[in-house]
């Protein structure tokens, strides 16, 4: 039996009217609106967008990435931090190793594009160093059920084959960004990575591709869990669902009304 499918809500006609930042926002709002994809306030998305430097007019690549705070499902364009990608790459030369990882956060404002006041999040490096234009990071229950398992790496291989990589738990930050970028670069066939005890990264060459990959991987995890479960999760439902309770109440109300009238 397959798990309940996630709805693919992508509207190609609407998407055709949007520029790259608009497509990023559209994708983000769709992903964040479904709690089966990510929790409220959780996850982040990004796109590497071509732009002109406001001072020199030279072409530059700008990382648009969800900033600190906010919710994917309801955010606007002002919720994205914008940073020069080449400056983020230059930070690799300043990095002195995991013991000094926290110091890298202070360098992020120096990478800001066009004086954007939105603060960049701790996950910025994870998006910057993946060699894909569009990147999604979400916390779907179905994937976390695998990622938080004792044998998470083996399960990732079993469920996704060679399509999805795995990285063991590490606190989000510059070091994890380097590890994720290296894994994606050295394995160009990957469309995503499960982060142990954390969540899912997926990516693609277009906003549509990244969105579709995110949904597909979550579906695959949910279907595997449904097919391999041996007993109801947490002992099964303890309270009837709202529709069932409403139907029961509708049947009881005439009887109760008759007793008290």
* 46-55 tens-digit pLDDT: 999 999 999 9
What pLDDT is stored for residue 214 in this prediction?
Answer: 98
> Which tokens is 181 given?
């970028």
Asked whether residue 2 is assigned to any structural domain, the reply reads no
**Parallel, antiparallel, or unpaired: how do β-strands 134-138 and 164-167 relate?**
unpaired
Considering the domain boundaries, does residue 256 fall inside one? no
Q: What is the pTM of this model?
A: 0.88
Q: What kind and span of H or E run contains 219? A: helix 207-228
Q: CA angle 41-47-50, nearest 5°?
A: 145
Distance CA 88, CA 107 (A): 9
Residue 44: pLDDT band (50, 70, 90) is very high
Residue 57's pLDDT band, with cuts at 50, 70 and 90, is: very high
* Mean pLDDT, all residues of the chain: 94
Residue 7 lies in a domain: no
What DSSP string describes 127-189?
Answer: HHTSSSSEEEEE--HHHHHHHTSTTHHHHHHHHHTTSEEEE----SSHHHHHHHHHHHHH-TT
245 or 168, higher pLDDT: 168
Residue 260 lies inside a defined structural domain of this protein: no
In a domain, 105, yes or no: yes
Range with the lowest mean pLDDT among 5-9, 91-95, 164-168, 240-244? 240-244
Distance, CA of 40 to CA of 135 (rounded, Å)? 19
Is residue 201 within 8 A of residue 182, CB to CB? The reply is no
Q: Which residues contact 95 (CB under 8 A, 6 or more apart)?
A: 101, 104, 174, 178
Count structural domains, the chain: 1
Q: Which domain holds residue 137?
A: 12-230
What's residue 1's pLDDT? 44
Q: What is the pLDDT of residues 154-179, one digit of tens each?
A: 999 999 999 999 999 999 999 999 99
Average pLDDT for residues 115-141, to the nearest whole number?
A: 98
Give the domain CATH number at 104. Answer: 3.40.225.10
The tokens describing 236, both together, are: 């099964």
Domain assignment of residue 157, yes or no? yes
- Give domain status of residue 250, yes or no: no
Q: What percent of the chain has pLDDT over 70?
A: 98
29 domain-assigned = yes
Taking residue 108's Cβ as centre, other Cβ atoms within 10 Å add up to 21
What is the distance between the alpha carbons of residues 44 and 199, in angstroms, rounded to a whole number? 11
If you compute the radius of gyration of the chain from its CA atoms, what whole number of angstroms results? Answer: 22
What's the DSSP call for residue 52? E
| Order of strands across the sheet that contains 192-195 | 80-84, 59-66, 44-52, 134-138, 199-204, 192-195, 164-167
Return the SS3 of 112.
Answer: strand
């991987």: which residue's tokens?
Answer: 217
State the first-to-last Cα distance of the chain, in angstroms, to the nearest integer: 48
The answer to whether residue 118 scores a pLDDT higher than 90 is yes
Task: Specify the DSSP class assigned to residue 241.
Answer: -
């Amino acid at each position: 039996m397959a798990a309940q499918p996630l709805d693919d809500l992508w509207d190609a006609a609407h998407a055709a009217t949007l520029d790259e930042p608009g497509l990023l926002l559209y994708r983000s709002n769709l992903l964040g609106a479904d709690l089966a994809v990510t929790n409220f306030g959780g996850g982040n998305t990004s796109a590497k967008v071509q732009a002109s430097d406001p001072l020199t007019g030279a072409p530059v690549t700008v990382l648009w990435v969800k900033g600190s705070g906010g919710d994917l499902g309801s955010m606007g364009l002002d919720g994205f931090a914008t940073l020069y990608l080449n400056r983020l790459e230059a930070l690799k030369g300043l990095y002195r190793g995991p013991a000094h990882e926290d110091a890298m956060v202070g360098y992020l404002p120096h990478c800001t594009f066009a004086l954007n006041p939105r603060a960049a999040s701790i996950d910025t490096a994870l998006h910057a160093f993946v060699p894909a234009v569009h990147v999604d990071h979400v916390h779907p229950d179905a994937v976390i059920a695998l990622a938080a398992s004792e044998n998470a790496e083996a399960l990732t291989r079993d469920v996704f084959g060679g399509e999805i990589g795995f990285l063991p738990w590490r606190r989000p930050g510059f070091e994890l960004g380097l590890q994720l970028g290296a894994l994606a670069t050295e394995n160009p066939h990957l469309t995503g990575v499960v982060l142990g005890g954390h969540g899912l990264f997926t990516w693609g060459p277009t906003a549509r591709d990244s969105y579709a990959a995110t949904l597909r991987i979550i579906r695959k995890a949910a279907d595997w869990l449904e097919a391999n479960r041996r007993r109801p999760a947490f002992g099964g439902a303890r309270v009837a669902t709202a529709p069932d309770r409403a139907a029961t109440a509708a049947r009881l109300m005439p009887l109760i009304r008759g007793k008290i009238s």
